Structure 1
Amino acid sequence: MDRVTKPGAIPRRALLGAAAAAPLLLSARLASAAEPLGFDELYKKFGVLGLEFSDKVKAFSGRSVAVRGFMAPPLKAEASFFVLTRIPMALCPFCSSDADWPDDILVVYLSARQTFVQHNATIRADGVLEHGSWTDPETGFVSQLRLRDASFRTV
């Protein structure tokens, strides 16, 4: 039996296909909704006066951002966070000295456990940006910039 579709009506099969694809389209849209943020956009540099957060960091604080970089070797394998760096680092940036907070790292707190990658693999970390001094109650580490509820993937 042939089905007759009214002119201008969408066939039922097309509606079912679109409904099935909607969650995939929404998740792709949300993933791409992260604002890109580069390491060179994190701070205003003031020489002897130190560092000040950039206007972009202040504007994006509390919003989803995407940052490309490298995963510094984690302090321990079961950690739920890692340090994202501008360049590959063979050592944890917290372990090298007690110098001031470097302007080319940020801490990434994962929303779910992920397998860490080699320190020389480029990754994209997506998460909610936070700025300002904060001390992690579990580790005692102090950070100036963080991504919360984050995930990462190799690129």
Structure 2
Amino acid sequence: MDRRRFLVLLPAFLLVSQAASAQEEDGTIRLRDLYNKDTSFSDLALASEGQRIIVNGFMAPPLKAESTFFVLTKMPTAVCPFCEPGQTWPDDILPVYTRRIVDPIPFNVPMRTSGILELGEYVDPETGFFSALRLVEATYERG
């Protein structure tokens, strides 16, 4: 490999190695690793957009019954975190959209969630819930 080619490929290598180091050994991504300190999306989030990722956390109480949506939180919370456009987006929650109606898991039981990461502002037409990022086509299990 010549020097010019090495210098061209170096930024891509650094991005991939940084993204890999932010993942747990089992491939799980931590919620906090999706954001920079200024709450902008991290390089890991940008590199993972459109890909299936795994995130561990806790299910916040559902916003409504018979829904295909829930909020994954970093820590157990007995109250749903509501977000509206224009407010600072919290870096410790992740909206999750499933294909089937969600079977609620108690708020203090750890869970593992897998889904396709979407970035960008979105307001759910059914619930009015605003999100800066979300998992879609998600599956989840206790764990």
Normalising TM by the smaller chain, what interval? 0.7 to 0.9
Q: Does 1:86 align with 2:63?
A: no
Query: Structure 1 counterpart of 2:107, which letter?
Result: H
Q: Does 1:100 align with 2:92?
A: no
Root mean square deviation, CA, Å:
1.8
Query: Structure 2 counterpart of 1:42, which letter?
Result: L
> How far 1:86 sits from its partner (Å)?
0.2
Query: Structure 2 counterpart of 1:58, which letter?
Result: L
Are the aligned partners of 1:110 and 1:151 in contact in 2 as well (CA < 8 Å)? yes
> How far, CA to CA, are the matches of 2:129 and 2:123 in structure 1?
6
TM-score by length of 2: 0.75
Gaps of 5+ in 2: 1-25
Identity %: 47
TM-score by length of 1: 0.70
1:134 partner SS = strand
Q: Hey, what does 1:54 align to over in structure 2?
A: 42
> How far, CA to CA, are the matches of 1:135 and 1:76 in structure 2?
16
2:140 partner SS = strand
> How far 1:35 sits from its partner (Å)?
4.6
2:30 alignment partner, one of 35, 38, 55: 38
> How far, CA to CA, are the matches of 2:105 and 2:121 in structure 1?
27
Structure 1's 130 and 35: CA in aligned 2 closer, same or farther, altered over 3 A? Answer: farther
Larger Rg: 1
Q: Hey, what does 1:74 align to over in structure 2?
A: 62
1:70-119 per-residue CA deviation (whole Å, 9 max, x = no partner) reads 00000122111000000000100118xx9522110010001222411100
> How far, CA to CA, are the matches of 2:67 and 2:88 in structure 1?
23
> How far, CA to CA, are the matches of 2:27 and 2:125 in structure 1?
28
